Structure 1
């Protein structure tokens, strides 16, 4: 049987790809085996050649026999080389056949691929034609029975089938007809949507919007739906504005809260989506915000569930309704300010605060009464307006947070209407200005009807306020066990009334959530407290100082009578100060003293007493610190860092206000100390400072005196105790302690002035040390550790006088730690103190190096 070449085998296999592949694999294996055979033959030839030797070498070695052996070896390798040559030729032929076979295979594969692609194209054409005809038929039938949603299903089916576009003439005609039907369906859907909007058929509106989504036009349907929702909301609100402008009671006030989670309807809406007239602008604003939030949530849900989950469509919903609500809020706020004549009233109040009553009467009738009644009515009207304005700002701020949250969830940038921002800022500005007017007027009214009231003062150690002055008990925040350790003191009602007004304004401002408004009101609170309350109390402290100066001019005798006269002069100065303050009306105390006797006279006397003034200042410090702490806690709760820092900077203004009250209180305590000082000075000069009293004692004289029969010390301490008990009887506990510190300082200064005029023996110095210990112990029981600090200089002098030798000064003397240390003796004072000892030589003192 004749041998068949691989090429002939391939041709014989025809177009069977699998058989051709098998033949190709067999040929490759045969080729690999042939190459291995050739390699083995070449290796054998090389080894045979290596066994012989180079003829040149053999000749050089000089042997013809070797040459003949080499030739014989070459002759023996010829058959092997011939076999290798023949195998190489055969391999070359097989390689050529393999290459030819590969070309045939490649050509056949290309032909098969081409045939397959043509078959697929033909199949796709058939499917496209069938799909197009079916969808076209379905669209015709559905449109014939006006079933738009089913027709859109066929359009969506054809678009999503992925069959491509037709090329044939018949198919092109069908495709053109299908496109025409699609356009017709889109026009019909627009007409149906318009009719659904007119009929307010929510179900039909939703169906038609789904038609647009299936037609590949979701934005068209959603935008028209949003336009319809916004038009509906606009018509509703504009009607409400007209009705409210025509019918609203200018002083009506309804505290309605804004609920962003309100799912449907709103204030003034019924079950069918229509609304009844709002009763006030505040109700109208709440109605709009509830409706706007409901439209956002309802439309977003509809779009997400029935049309598309695309974020772009959700962003379109939020941005469209946001823009519409911004415009409507602007209209409501503008109408509110025009109807209430806010700008005109604010201008009148700014130009002249005394025209508050006239400003509040604008646009109203029926105010009949005296000046006091009209002012009360004006304050109440202003208070009602501020409540409405604050609630409006609160609702707009809540609306801003709601919209910003929605936009942030969708990755949208903030885009508020400039007109909306301007009108909100304008209302916030008017609110802040009129809030200041309300505070100032209300506090002025409280000053005119000022009286006295009792409060419980707690020891400073139990105070929870953290401020100098009245403890937390003064705020009514004490426990029953604390109350048993405190005492009842009298304060002016101005502290309570003024801070009641301030707290109300603070709460109203923080309720707005509008940081700029809060900061403005905080600044106004600081200003009003300093210009109204602090100035009033400063005038009374100045009256105390005036009484103290008058007392100093009269001399030192008959102290009790002169002190009573000084207080009477303080009362007269206080009346003059109140008249100079320009309150415009007599105080409650003065009016009562002119018209009533008995208890009213006692209240007026108590109101003008220094103790009441100082107690009121201490209470103002506590209330100011509490006010600052409350606002700082509110600032810490703000999520935005910039707003938090801005508010805290404004709240820091209360530090200066608290410091102002503290400085005024300190001046008052200093004035009381000056009232006490003459009696103390007189007692010290008549005892320790008496020229007849000597400290040049012998041992027997020293031993004859003890603490129980020392008349000088007990006379000084009894005088100090009587003065403190009398002065601090109605003074709060913390001020009592501060006054005790001052009295201790005065006592120390007077004793030191008397001591440096004396001469001392060693036993006289011992007596002075014992007397000083008794005095320090007395004041230590009243003012605590501060007593030793007040008597430190005198104690150093006593320690120096009790030295055995001048050279021992370094054992007791501690130099001042700094130049500002005034409680330690300097070097000159040490030498002057040593010079008071009669047994210390002046030369030793002069030679002393400190």
Structure 2
């Protein structure tokens, strides 16, 4: 170990020694505080000794109290047992007394034929603890005899109730039937009572329906104008059944209790299914729906001689009314049954399960199956009616004097609205979606095709080649233009009508869904799915609007080709004849005579004046936009063939601005951005020196002229040297 290591080791030892001395010094300084703390602890220990003595005393007292409480609780439990036994004895005594009273009372009631009181005694006997009574019957002859008497009386009363009910049924004695209907639940025969009572009510429903159907058939045979007689017969059936349920619901709930209204309504629904099937069978036979639909399918358009649109319309009206009333009746029954079911359910899961069971039962009942078949007939009939009405509207298309559109648009959308709203009234989401899809197909495939054909057929063959030669007289040109503009307006009006139809259907459907907002949770879930499905189909109609808009845009292309381009061509030729290589005197003369206004703006103004009152607002605005674009593009081509002086550039700037201002004044849309390139060309032609180009915002995104075009435009100036233009850094 060398000296440096020894010194380092010594320094480390001295550092540790210094640290230890510091700690020792701190401990000595804290010794006073430690002594004070120890003194406090000593004082507290004396106090804890006293506390320990007090705790021992408290423990002894609580031990005595706990022992006393245990004795009291044992005595209370003993008293509870005694009380329970006493109550049981009292109950047994009361049962025996009730048994005696029932035994004595039932003899008198049966002898006096007071069957309500007799049934009441039997009902009271049935609520007694019969097991106890029978176990103690051996100890008392009277109890055994009473039980035997009451059991015999119960059997006798059941026979009497059945016999009396049957006799009242045969005699159609409604008062006696209702009397014994109330007795059945007292005898424990709820199902039998309901079955017999519903059988009686069903016979009344069947009898009344038979009379109504007989009258309906006689009326149909006698009067061919009976358009909705079968729907009226269905309505009478549904109203009668609803009245029965409403009238007898308090009776069932009072004498049979919660949950039995469901049994009552489902039994009654079976009769509803039978009578509905009978009416529907006669409806199909008399209206010959299947036969006529088959003929339509086989004969196509020639079937109009067998079944016309008016006859189809009347059948659709009747079919819709039947479906609407049946759906209303089923919703009524569902609400009553589910409300009754909920009274007997304790949990939400049980409510959901029972609700789904009821929904499935009613959705698969005979009436629901009839409605399903009826909707199938309806859709086929409605499709035939829609197609025929559409073709009639197209064939009878006329333009009334002073009208901007033809009758076809109003007629087609009137029929569409009628058919779709009629379908909406069925409240059947599947039928509604199917009819909307059928309507969409008609609009997209047939209607758009008709609109396009009328646009193209409005222009005579060879029109564009001969319009400049004067071969066509002005009357022929005006007539072609008038027919074309009406067809163009038809497209625009169709889009607006379609949007209005979508809004109307959306409002109608929301109104229908809100009327069913008080349904249970299961039904609400189903309604939500139906609502989403229908709303999706309605929103699909916006796609049809885009298809019609595509036809409209094609129509404007035709307008540009056959009407705007000849005008623009003439204006461009006139513009090319106006000199822009002007001297000072030439500039003054140009401003005085203003040849641009005379040869360009005046013809455009005349054209717009002639066409403005014949176009709908949107079409007019779009036409002005297309005219502006066409003029600008044509003028650009002419400009590159012209020569300009500084004064000519000033004249050109004034001309561009005057044309832009004029077109802006006749439209609510902005057209100034279409003149951006022309104004920038004018700016280049108005430069005093070529080098001033670099002072322009040519690198801005708003600058539309390319460097090559800028050099070409600058070369149009007679006074600009080619070498100077080439030296520009663009």
Query: Scaled by the length of structure 2, what TM-score is found?
Result: 0.76
- Note closer, same or farther for the CA distance 1:709–1:423 as it changes in structure 2 (3 Å cut): same
Q: Distance in 2 between matches of 1:114 and 1:738?
A: 98
Q: Distance in 2 between matches of 1:218 and 1:418?
A: 24
Give the counterpart of 1:659 among 541, 546, 549.
546
What secondary structure, in the 3-state scheme, does the structure 2 residue paired with 1:758 have? coil
What secondary structure, in the 3-state scheme, does the structure 1 residue paired with 2:400 have? strand
Deviations 1:807-835 (A, max 9, x none): 63563436668xxxxx9334433343333
Give the conservation status (yes or no) of the 8 Å contact 1:193–1:205: yes
Aligned match of 1:586: none
Aligned match of 2:63: none
Q: Distance in 2 between matches of 1:114 and 1:761?
A: 127
Q: Distance in 1 between matches of 2:400 and 2:241?
A: 51
Q: Work out whether 1:702 is the aligned partner of 2:614.
A: no
Give the conservation status (yes or no) of the 8 Å contact 2:272–2:367: no
Query: How far off is 1:302 after superposition?
Result: 1.0
Q: Distance in 2 between matches of 1:614 and 1:698?
A: 48
Any stretches of 5+ residues in structure 2 without a counterpart?
A: 1-70, 343-354, 514-526
Give the counterpart of 2:556 among 662, 669, 680.
669
Give the counterpart of 1:757 among 641, 647, 670.
641
Q: Work out whether 1:527 is the aligned partner of 2:441.
A: yes
Give the counterpart of 2:375 among 390, 412, 428.
428
Aligned match of 2:485: 611
Which structure's residues are more often helix, by fraction? 2
Aligned match of 1:174: 146
Aligned match of 2:334: 404
Q: Work out whether 1:147 is the aligned partner of 2:114.
A: yes
What secondary structure, in the 3-state scheme, does the structure 2 residue paired with 1:288 have? helix
Q: Work out whether 1:286 is the aligned partner of 2:241.
A: no
Aligned match of 2:322: 392
Q: Distance in 1 between matches of 2:473 and 2:705?
A: 36
Aligned match of 1:32: none
What secondary structure, in the 3-state scheme, does the structure 1 residue paired with 2:575 have? coil
Aligned match of 1:836: 716
Once the two structures are superposed, the pairs formed by residues 575-590 of structure 1 within 5 Å of their partners are: none
Deviations 1:121-178 (A, max 9, x none): 8877765554433321211121112111111222233444668414133122331222
Query: How far off is 1:774 after superposition?
Result: 0.8
Give the counterpart of 2:385 among 430, 438, 441.
438
Query: How far off is 1:359 after superposition?
Result: 4.1
Aligned match of 2:451: 537
Q: Work out whether 1:768 is the aligned partner of 2:655.
A: no
What secondary structure, in the 3-state scheme, does the structure 2 residue paired with 1:442 have? helix
What secondary structure, in the 3-state scheme, does the structure 2 residue paired with 1:786 have? coil
- Note closer, same or farther for the CA distance 1:694–1:567 as it changes in structure 2 (3 Å cut): closer
Deviations 1:765-810 (A, max 9, x none): 2221111111111111112443213322212222233344446356
Q: Distance in 1 between matches of 2:397 and 2:589?
A: 60
Q: Distance in 1 between matches of 2:447 and 2:92?
A: 94
What secondary structure, in the 3-state scheme, does the structure 1 residue paired with 2:465 have? helix
- Note closer, same or farther for the CA distance 1:503–1:128 as it changes in structure 2 (3 Å cut): closer
- Note closer, same or farther for the CA distance 1:197–1:784 as it changes in structure 2 (3 Å cut): same
Query: How far off is 1:740 after superposition?
Result: 2.4
Q: Distance in 2 between matches of 1:384 and 1:836?
A: 76
Q: Distance in 1 between matches of 2:721 and 2:403?
A: 57
Q: Distance in 1 between matches of 2:317 and 2:470?
A: 59
Give the counterpart of 1:726 among 607, 610, 621.
610
Aligned match of 1:320: 267
Q: Distance in 1 between matches of 2:699 and 2:213?
A: 83
- Note closer, same or farther for the CA distance 1:656–1:174 as it changes in structure 2 (3 Å cut): closer
Query: How far off is 1:227 after superposition?
Result: 2.8
Deviations 1:196-244 (A, max 9, x none): 2222323322322222222343343233222322343234335544664
Number of equivalences: 621
Aligned match of 2:698: 813
Give the conservation status (yes or no) of the 8 Å contact 1:348–1:355: no
Deviations 1:436-473 (A, max 9, x none): 2112223333444333224xxxxxxxxxxxxxxxxxxx
CA RMSD of aligned residues (A): 3.5
Q: Distance in 2 between matches of 1:745 and 1:129?
A: 108
Compare 696-705 and 619-628 and name the one that shifted more: 696-705
Compare 502-511 and 380-389 and name the one that shifted more: 502-511
Q: Distance in 2 between matches of 1:772 and 1:115?
A: 116
What secondary structure, in the 3-state scheme, does the structure 2 residue paired with 1:436 have? helix
Query: How far off is 1:839 after superposition?
Result: 4.5
What secondary structure, in the 3-state scheme, does the structure 2 residue paired with 1:512 have? coil
Compare 383-392 and 428-437 and name the one that shifted more: 428-437
What secondary structure, in the 3-state scheme, does the structure 2 residue paired with 1:688 have? helix
Give the conservation status (yes or no) of the 8 Å contact 2:95–2:129: no
Q: Distance in 2 between matches of 1:621 and 1:526?
A: 13
Query: How far off is 1:195 after superposition?
Result: 1.7
Once the two structures are superposed, the pairs formed by residues 195-344 of structure 1 within 5 Å of their partners are: 195-238=167-210, 240-241=212-213, 244-245=216-217, 248-249=220-221, 251-253=224-226, 280-305=229-254, 307-310=255-258, 312-344=259-291
Q: Distance in 2 between matches of 1:394 and 1:649?
A: 23
Deviations 1:552-575 (A, max 9, x none): 32373548x56555567x59xxxx
Give the conservation status (yes or no) of the 8 Å contact 1:510–1:518: yes
- Note closer, same or farther for the CA distance 1:727–1:125 as it changes in structure 2 (3 Å cut): closer
- Note closer, same or farther for the CA distance 1:115–1:740 as it changes in structure 2 (3 Å cut): closer
Q: Work out whether 1:643 is the aligned partner of 2:530.
A: yes
User: Which is greater in Rg?
Assistant: 1
Query: Scaled by the length of structure 1, what TM-score is found?
Result: 0.66
Q: Distance in 1 between matches of 2:327 and 2:416?
A: 23
